[in-house]
Amino acid sequence: MTLRPKQAPIVAALPVTVPFVGPEAQQRASGRTFRARIGANESSFGPAPSVIRKMQEVAADQWMYCDPDNFDLKAALAAHLGVGFDNVVVGEGIDGLLNLAVRIFVAPGQAVVTSLGAYPTFNFHVDGFGGRLVKVAYENDRESLDGLLAAVRRDNAAMVYLSNPDNPMGTWWEADDVSRFADALPETTLFVLDEAYGETGPDSALPPISVDRPNVIRMRTFSKAYGLAGLRCGYAVGETQVIADFEKVRNHYGVSRMAQIAGEAALADQAWLAEVKAKVAAGRRRIAAIARDNGLSPIESATNFVTIDCGGDGAFALRVMQNLLARDVFIRKPMVPVLDRCIRVSVGLDPELDIFAEELPRALAGARG
Amino acid sequence: MTLRPKQAPIVAALPVTVPFVGPEAQQRASGRTFRARIGANESSFGPAPSVIRKMQEVAADQWMYCDPDNFDLKAALAAHLGVGFDNVVVGEGIDGLLNLAVRIFVAPGQAVVTSLGAYPTFNFHVDGFGGRLVKVAYENDRESLDGLLAAVRRDNAAMVYLSNPDNPMGTWWEADDVSRFADALPETTLFVLDEAYGETGPDSALPPISVDRPNVIRMRTFSKAYGLAGLRCGYAVGETQVIADFEKVRNHYGVSRMAQIAGEAALADQAWLAEVKAKVAAGRRRIAAIARDNGLSPIESATNFVTIDCGGDGAFALRVMQNLLARDVFIRKPMVPVLDRCIRVSVGLDPELDIFAEELPRALAGARG
């Protein structure tokens, strides 16, 4: 038998199965193209025309490495948020920043608290660095602040994760509740507040940005309302020393030149953001109306998607989703009981929601039949 | 005193100083713009016009997430290299793949062998995951295959790194020598063969691609000859099980949609690559001639840069570089004795090399004066 290089122990213990199945993989499997791409919470409205023009202008310049300091984008973010330059770190999407946060602040074996059914990529990174996941059930389709806090205390957790507004349910806590939660946490527990959907919800859900607390780090992205998911650009805001720790381990050439330039241009076009927010709100109302027209219960959402209670069990909702997929409508659904009674539909363009409105009754009939 | 979240032990032990200073940072410090950007081994010839057009076409599509499987690019790479789809993994440049390779195959405390003065980003990642770096001196301005092998055996190394062709010296080993080195390694030592400059050297420096050996992984990039450094896209080729290990920990949404599309387009335009290779060879000859015109000794190079022995000590070469920087000519230099007697000049456009030819005599005079 051939000997071979050994994996490091933490990696050796990981499964090879990978939870990431993109719509492209589904299309390759079916041999068909989705008629409506409303499953990945992307922004069908796209990036701003000003951003598209900028990307086209700088395409020929991509022979140059990116600025490893992300200087221009960081400076623009700091000014936009009213924080210092050293309170911001830019990464390859929130995914990349979660990877680093876990690597920096979770030692192997330490407890990390999240909600059961919340963002799987966070869990992927916690597993990947040997953290011990502690999962707290949702309460009334919201992440349970009391439950998370109790778990943090009980397990002396190094880190706790909350997405607000939430994915996959679309629900949210008001800023006061989030602030009270942060105040109640042990000072040694890092609170990772994922605000990927921060721009699409009510402003009242966003606590004021404070960078004084070493145990709170907030993450935002250009992937959602700004319409740049494909470019991989997110940022974290926190206390300077916490941010400095990212410098020790991040891939300094990880965020592409294109992403840095497009991110800066996107931030400068707040008129487009306002337009997208209005379209997202209208799209949510329309998805909710379609759901109600079919006798289903939409859950009120602060995100760019609406999660719909199909009124049955997980198996029923799964059949609904599968029927929609078979009709080339790309949506997703939560998989953990009791959230799994729902399907999740992203706000898309009107023609995509027309298709959803047309196909949902058939998918439901098929699931019932 | 406020308590705060604790860093994981490996990260806590790392310094905050960061070895990555881009030309943008130097320009910000000087308040001026470089007249010649010939220091980062980028391809001043840019990406192919066909690739630029493709990037412009797909700019508006960047609201969609990237394909987490990198399917189309991987399939194109596999066909191009004559290997299986499962023998390829795509990452955020070779930097991103080195990070993963170390994370997967180096347990904290294990020895990792590289050359003293070789690629600092590799060292950054080894430190970052708690590996123990063992550095072997260059011999006659080449990485020492015998020295690396002896160190691997002595320290029972988990990994050994070789760049061929080499950065920062531009030298190379022929394929037979590299193959003999691979054959002589313990089967448990992973050989990371960095071929970032593989396209610009003689074909005779590239061993045939074999994906049978679990202990050899080769890395290549679109950053150099293909002119896409800003997009961050590299790939590794190896045995299927080794490649599968990357799936366990990589950021599946790390390589941007733009990079995947541009990489595929770049690979399809081999005519452009041939043109760039010819231009790089001509540029090397010109840099060598400029060096000789000034009484200096260029080192024969298989890369897109030429390293020039300035004929003095490290302090002298440092003054030469600083004088060029002060004249807004961006170059770099090796910093480790005895390599530090040299400066390193990337092949640039003719007008950039005109500026270099004009300024080098002044920089030398200043350094001597």
**In angstroms, rounded to a whole number, what is the distance separating the alpha carbons of residues B258 and B260?**
6
Nearest CA in chain A to B53: A59
Interface of B with A in 343-362 (CB under 8 A): none
Of B145, B79, B92, B74, the closest CA to residue B114 belongs to B145
- Let me know how long chain B is: 369
Of A244, A248, A198, the closest CA to residue A218 belongs to A198
Q: Does A62 contact chain B (CB < 8 Å)?
A: yes
B59 and A55 within 8 Å at the Cβ level: the answer is yes
Using the predicted structure, report yes or no on whether residue B8 has a pLDDT greater than 90: yes
- The percent of residues in chain B predicted with pLDDT above 90, rounded, is 97
Interface of A with B in 165-224 (CB under 8 A): 186-190, 214-215, 223
Number of Cβ within 10 Å of residue B3's Cβ equals 11
| Range of lowest pLDDT (A6-20, B30-44, B283-297) | A6-20
Of A345, A341, A315, the closest CA to residue A332 belongs to A345
CATH number for region A49-269: 3.40.640.10
Q: Does A312 contact chain B (CB < 8 Å)?
A: no
pLDDT digits (tens, 9 = 90+) for B319-328: 999 999 999 9
Chain B residues lying within 8 Å of A61, measured CB to CB: 46, 230
Q: Does B29 contact chain A (CB < 8 Å)?
A: no
Q: Which residue among A68, A248, A254 sits closest to B22, beta carbon to beta carbon?
A: A68
A63 and B46 within 8 Å at the Cβ level: the answer is yes
The band of B17, judged by pLDDT with boundaries at 50, 70 and 90, is confident
Tokens of A284: 């949510």
pLDDT digits (tens, 9 = 90+) for B89-126: 999 999 999 999 999 999 999 999 999 999 999 999 99
Yes or no: say if A269 and A51 are a contact pair by the CB < 8 Å rule.
yes
Yes or no: say if B199 and B273 are a contact pair by the CB < 8 Å rule.
yes
Yes or no: say if B260 and B233 are a contact pair by the CB < 8 Å rule.
yes
Contacts of B357 (CB under 8 A, 6+ apart): B290, B293
CATH class for the domain made up of B19-46+271-368: alpha beta
A7 and B245 within 8 Å at the Cβ level: the answer is yes
**In angstroms, rounded to a whole number, what is the distance separating the alpha carbons of residues A8 and B158?**
10
Half-sphere exposure of residue B216: CA atoms within 13 angstroms, side-chain side = 19
Q: What is the ipTM of this complex?
A: 0.97
Residue type present at position A229: A
CA dihedral B93, A17, B80, B59 (to 10 degrees): -50
Predicted local distance difference test score (pLDDT) of residue B5: 96
- Please tell me the CATH superfamily of domain A9-46+271-368, with its number: Aspartate Aminotransferase, domain 1 (3.90.1150.10)
Domain residue spans of chain B: 19-46+271-368, 49-268
Yes or no: say if B64 and A42 are a contact pair by the CB < 8 Å rule.
yes
Q: Does A55 contact chain B (CB < 8 Å)?
A: yes
Residue type present at position B93: G
The domains spanning B19-46+271-368 and B49-268 adopt the same CATH topology: no
Burial of A295 (0-12, 13-18, 19+ CB in 10 A): exposed
Chain A residues lying within 8 Å of B67, measured CB to CB: 22, 24-25
Chain B residues lying within 8 Å of A231, measured CB to CB: 62, 256-258
Nearest CA in chain A to B45: A63
Q: Does B59 contact chain A (CB < 8 Å)?
A: yes
Yes or no: say if B87 and B239 are a contact pair by the CB < 8 Å rule.
yes
**In angstroms, rounded to a whole number, what is the distance separating the alpha carbons of residues A211 and A203?**
19
A229 and B159 within 8 Å at the Cβ level: the answer is no
User: Tens-digit pLDDT profile for chain A (369 aa)?
Assistant: 579 999 999 999 998 877 789 999 999 999 999 999 999 999 999 999 999 999 999 999 999 999 999 999 999 999 999 999 999 999 999 999 999 999 999 999 999 999 999 999 999 999 999 999 999 999 999 999 999 999 999 999 999 999 999 999 999 999 999 999 999 999 999 999 999 999 999 999 999 988 999 999 999 999 999 999 999 999 999 999 999 999 999 999 999 999 999 999 999 999 999 999 999 999 999 999 999 999 999 999 999 999 999 999 999 999 999 999 999 999 999 999 999 999 999 999 999 999 999 999 999 999 998
Tokens of A282: 């209208």
B4 and A66 within 8 Å at the Cβ level: the answer is no
Residue type present at position A285: R
- The pLDDT of B139-168, averaged and rounded, is 98
Residue type present at position B74: K
Yes or no: say if A181 and A148 are a contact pair by the CB < 8 Å rule.
yes
Yes or no: say if B300 and B281 are a contact pair by the CB < 8 Å rule.
no
Number of Cβ within 10 Å of residue B4's Cβ equals 16
**In angstroms, rounded to a whole number, what is the distance separating the alpha carbons of residues B305 and A256?**
23
Q: State how far residue A215 is from chain B, nearest Cα, in angstroms.
A: 6
A60 and B40 within 8 Å at the Cβ level: the answer is no
Q: Does A7 contact chain B (CB < 8 Å)?
A: yes
Tokens of A101: 């946060």
Contacts of B79 (CB under 8 A, 6+ apart): none
**In angstroms, rounded to a whole number, what is the distance separating the alpha carbons of residues A88 and A74?**
6
| Integer Rg of chain A from CA | 21
Predicted local distance difference test score (pLDDT) of residue B275: 98
**In angstroms, rounded to a whole number, what is the distance separating the alpha carbons of residues B137 and B318?**
20
- The pLDDT of B351-364, averaged and rounded, is 98
A5 and B214 within 8 Å at the Cβ level: the answer is yes
Interface of B with A in 107-166 (CB under 8 A): 107-108, 121, 128-129, 158-159
Q: Which CATH number fits domain B49-268: 3.30.70.1380, 3.90.1300.10, 3.40.50.1970, 3.40.640.10?
A: 3.40.640.10
Instruction: Quickly tell me which residue has 């679309």 as its tokens.
Output: A170
Nearest CA in chain B to A102: B8
Tokens of B224: 């150099």
Q: Does B313 contact chain A (CB < 8 Å)?
A: no
**In angstroms, rounded to a whole number, what is the distance separating the alpha carbons of residues A337 and A321?**
16
Instruction: Quickly tell me which residue has 């030592």 as its tokens.
Output: B189
**In angstroms, rounded to a whole number, what is the distance separating the alpha carbons of residues A103 and B8?**
7
